[in-house]
Amino acid sequence: MKLRLVYFAWVRERIGRGEEEVDPPAALASVADLVDWLATSRGEGYATAFAERDRLRAAVDQRFVPMTASIIGAREIAIFPPVTGG
Amino acid sequence: MIRIIVSPDVIDSASEMARVEAGESGAVATFTGLVRRDDGVDQLELEHYPGATEAALMALAEEAVVRWSLGDATIIHRVGPMRPGERIVFVAAGAPHRAAALAACAFLIDRLKTDAPFWKRETRGDQPRWVEPRAADDDAAARWTAD
């Protein structure tokens, strides 16, 4: 399952890139599962970016979702801090 | 008419307001957000999620048009670097009467702050800092779903 990941603001800075394509294990069901997998398998930048889970927000295929949302069949997952526009 | 613009260009609020006033609405309410001058910020930079941002703003505008029978809903949001005193955001709502125009304008800016994927980074001197969300913004947005 090829998945496009996009990161914004300090999540992007800590990871060191704004986007990438990954092929996560099929067992991952939710955004939270994906975050856990990234934090533990892809190096220090990811672990730092995802250290405070309650400060993370997500979108699946460009729609805001809770971290418990399914990623099954998703094409693009975005992970970012709480928004601060306006 | 719904008009959504997300762009690094300077916001020309006068021409945007004139555009709404040229419509059929009897009442037009607008909101302009500026980069604050008062807290020592030298530069503000706005990051956003291209595609998702425009979709989120369009969804808000469509909700407002239905809820308040608007003739016009305009949301212009600047992105990229900007200086104190410059416009970040301009919102206009055109409606048959003032109560609807004022309520819709407040709804659009309150919900924009929580529903659209923008992130502010302030720089003071050479120290950049990502702006933290404010609980008051969540409260302001929540009042539109409370009733």
Q: What is the CATH number of the domain that holds B75?
A: 3.90.1170.40
E-only strand ranges, chain A = 3-7, 19-22, 57-60, 63-65, 76-80
Q: Is residue B20 part of a domain?
A: yes
For the beta sheet containing B87-95, the strands, ordered from the edge strand earlier in sequence to the opposite edge, are B2-7, B72-78, B87-95, B27-34
Tracing tokens 């941002």 back to the chain, one arrives at B53
Chain A residue whose CA is closest to B128 = A10
Q: What are phi and psi of A31, to 5 degrees?
A: -60, -40
Q: Let me know if residue B141 belongs to a domain.
A: no
**Contact predicate B115/B60, CB 8 Å:** yes
For residue B117, the distance in angstroms to the closest alpha carbon of chain A comes to 6
Each residue of B114-137: pLDDT tens digit? 999 999 999 999 999 999 998 898
Kindly state whether A77 is in contact with chain B, defined as any CB-CB distance less than 8 angstroms.
no
Inter-chain CB proximity A86 and B47 less than 8 Å: no
Q: Is residue B140 part of a domain?
A: no
Judged against a pLDDT cut of 60, whether residue A48 lies above it is answered with yes
Rounded Cα–Cα distance for residues B17 and B34 (Å): 16
pLDDT at position B40 = 87
Q: Across all residues in chain A, what is the average pLDDT?
A: 95
Distance (Å, whole) CA A62 – CA A84: 17
Contact B142, B108 (CB under 8 A): no
B51 is written with which tokens? 């595609």
CB contact, 8 Å: A74 with chain B?
no
The pLDDT assigned to B38 comes to 74
Best residue in A55, A60, A62 for a mutation probing chain B (most B CBs within 10 Å): A62
pLDDT at B61: 98
Is B82 contained in some domain?
yes
Question: What's this model's pTM, rounded to 2 decimal places?
Answer: 0.94
Q: Is B17 part of any domain?
A: yes
* B92 in any annotated domain: yes
pLDDT, average across residues A62-72: 95
The arithmetic mean of pLDDT across residues B61-83, rounded, is: 98
Place of tokens 């800075």: A13
Q: Which residue of A has its CA nearest to B35?
A: A86
Identify the pLDDT of residue B145.
84
Q: What is the pLDDT of residue A61?
A: 96
Question: According to the model, what pLDDT value does residue B129 have?
Answer: 95
How many domains in chain B?
A: 1
Give all domains of chain A, ordered by start, each with its CATH number.
Answer: 3-80 (3.10.20.30)
Q: Is B62 a domain residue?
A: yes
Q: Return mean pLDDT, chain B.
A: 95
Min Cα–Cα distance to chain A from B97, Å: 25
Predicted confidence (pLDDT) at residue B146 exceeds the cutoff of 90: no
For tokens 């398998």, the residue is A41
pLDDT for position B37: 82
* Residue B34: domain span: 2-132
Give the mean model confidence (pLDDT) for residues A4-9: 98
